[in-house]
Structure 1
Amino acid sequence: MSTPNDPYIPWQTPAHYPAQGAAPGAAPASAHVQEQVPHPLASHPNPVPLPPVGWRPGYRQEEQELGYHRLSHADPKGAWWKPLVEAAIGAPLYLVLSLLLVAAFFFVLLLGLDPALPADPSYLLLAASSEIFEQEALRSPATFVFLFGSVALMFPALWVARLILGPKPWGLIHSVAGRMRWGWLATCCGLVALLVVVLPLAFDTVLGARYIPSTTLPVGGLIAMLVAIILVVPVQAYAEELVFRGYLMQTIGRWLKHPAWAIIIPAPLFMLGHLYDLWGQLSVLVMGLAAGYITWRTGGLEAAIALHVVNNLLAMSFGVLGMADPFLQQGSTVGMFISALVSNGLFVLVVIWVARKKGIERTRTAQVWVKGGHPEGAQSVR
């Protein structure tokens, strides 16, 4: 009679046999070792890996050092047409947000929530067709928030459009580090305060200029205006930098490799967005060129944001105090243009020197799709 371990019994499998060299009656091998079943493709003679993310036929990946204006290439899903669709998403969204802001301002007028304004909604139509808005913005907190808030709305519109379409992550619009470098931003704010505010004011004082407050606002109204300036101006200036230095520089850099295009092209658009007189607009052009160049040289928006925020805070505060005309509708001089040229140029030189000393990164290493070859043929190009 056969035993259960008889190797010739047909229903038994090798797993039922005792381990080789084991004593008679030992437990079968399956009690100690789980039989390993290889994956069906493990022994395939020519395995085909999945292509990398964003791969297109006729392209291969190269490791490149990307300047700020080329950061859209750091997203493997990026494409030349995406900035256009991004604008097509952001522009209607900005229009909707602007209409909501108009409705909010309408109710402020209707309910008489701002003592500096008439409780008459028709004021909105009258002011929109004249220069009253800019005049009232220096004494009415609601008008100031409406005027500068309409610019600040570019930030959420661009943010939503970029979250939908990319480039991703969102932080690529801030710097090559993929985020806002807050310590570097604070350093740049200090440099702006010294080079663009303190030194020019001291220079003007030596030449005989006198900055004497002449506001007619009551104390409560003055405090309300200064609070509105502190809360709204930084967001407004940040939004402008996101569009003119962030979106436009990276869009142009998507199509044109040389940084000069990304620095120069947005500057006249930035100038035309400010309805000043001749020397005032030329001063804005100088600021736009300086902001674009320093953004490229430092690999991020921080220096440009600092320049814009501190400059606007000073201009609006002086306007509310009656010491200057921040809107420069008339009365700007060639001296103001020269002052802007010198102060912005000095700021650029000092920021470049400080950035080099602090080791601020200017580029980002990324795998970029280029024409030619196969997806597995990556090379290192620095």
Structure 2
Amino acid sequence: MNYQDHEYMVQPARSYAQLWRTLLGFVLGFAIYAILAMMFVALFGALSGDIESLLSFADPEAQATPAGTLMMLFSFVCMTGGIVIATLALHRRGLLSLLGPFRMMAADFLRVLGVLMLLSIVLLMLPLPSGPDETPVQNLDTGLWLKLLPIAILGVLIQTSAEEIVFRGYLQSQLAARFASPLIWMIVPSVIFGLMHFSPEMAGDNTWFIVGWATLFGVIAADLTARAGNLGPAIAMHFLNNLIAITFISTQGPLSGVALYTYPFGMADAEIMAHLPQDFATIVVGWLAARVAISR
């Protein structure tokens, strides 16, 4: 495994690599995130007066609305703020140290995003089997969707970047500064990332399959981060995956408010299981393509 460039992200973590600092930083970051998110939602409600959006944000059974989905996506700026505050306080590290060398990150992001977009176009052209009850239906008027799309793209970028900054930028690099084995600094953040997707009220009997899928994605993102020495590839892969699933064809749920099309089922329905092998294969192929794109 060629992880020598990982040092770009690990070196800034070495000065304050005590395990107690990392654990406290992770907990503190999420505590600050929770406080900031509550303030964000309250401010959104006060400015917009959109109670329906607040309901769709908090209740998976509520009807998704564009405003509710966008509010959820943009609220992830609070996650980034929380972990940055905790990192500054406990590790004397700033945001840039969590991203890796900025120019490398930007170049790798664009390189991987371009490769994965081409791959996605090819995959979308392939005929995929679907039952009569799985045909997507139009969710938004095309004109409205096009107006919302630039805002939604920014929101998805904020959401995916926040998760990568927390789990790969912070937790992975801090653990790598303390432990040499990739089995620790790759697997532990990935398992925690997977468990953060534990939502029986939304996924029902499919919960543990969703957790497993998210854990696998975390391992792939960890590998790309260690190989590149920056968050660019992981953010690009995470961003494109979520962009398609949130803005183009979404399952029913709180994040379907800005989707052009939606499937007639949600994460808790049995139909979702038929899509997991396809999603798994797509992620693995995308991972291999991303590794080729960042090979130096």
Contact preservation (8 Å) 1:271, 1:288: yes
Partner of 2:70: 145
Amino acid of the residue matched to residue 83 of structure 1? T
Q: Distance in 1 between matches of 2:266 and 2:104?
A: 30
Partner of 1:306: 236
Partner of 2:184: 261
Partner of 1:166: 91
5+ residue gaps, structure 2, are 251-258
Instruction: Output aligned runs, 1:17-28, within 5 Å.
Output: none
* Large movers: runs of 4+ above 4 Å: 126-129, 206-213, 218-221, 332-335
How does the TM-score come out when normalised to structure 1?
0.62
Partner of 1:247: 170
Structure 1 pair 143–346 and aligned structure 2 pair: CA distance change class (3 A): same
2:194 equivalent to 1:194:
no
Contact preservation (8 Å) 2:17, 2:175: no
Partner of 2:289: 350
How many residues align? The count is 276
Of residues 290, 293, 305, the one that matches 2:223 is 293
1:224 CA drift (Å)? 4.8
Contact preservation (8 Å) 1:70, 1:253: no
1:240 CA drift (Å)? 0.6
Partner of 2:25: 86
Amino acid of the residue matched to residue 147 of structure 1? M
Contact preservation (8 Å) 1:141, 1:228: no
Contact preservation (8 Å) 1:238, 1:305: yes
Structure 1 pair 182–209 and aligned structure 2 pair: CA distance change class (3 A): farther
Partner of 1:338: 277
Task: State the superposition RMSD in angstroms.
Answer: 3.3
Matched-pair identity in %: 23
Amino acid of the residue matched to residue 6 of structure 2? Y
Partner of 1:106: 45
Q: Distance in 1 between matches of 2:221 and 2:169?
A: 11
Partner of 1:131: 60
Contact preservation (8 Å) 1:213, 1:322: yes
1:182 CA drift (Å)? 1.0
1:271 CA drift (Å)? 2.1
Amino acid of the residue matched to residue 190 of structure 1? G
More helix by share: 2
1:337 CA drift (Å)? 2.5
Structure 1 pair 132–223 and aligned structure 2 pair: CA distance change class (3 A): farther
Contact preservation (8 Å) 1:270, 1:288: yes
Structure 1 pair 94–192 and aligned structure 2 pair: CA distance change class (3 A): same
Partner of 2:255: none
1:193 CA drift (Å)? 1.5
5+ residue gaps, structure 1, are 1-64, 360-382
Q: Distance in 2 between matches of 1:288 and 1:232?
A: 20
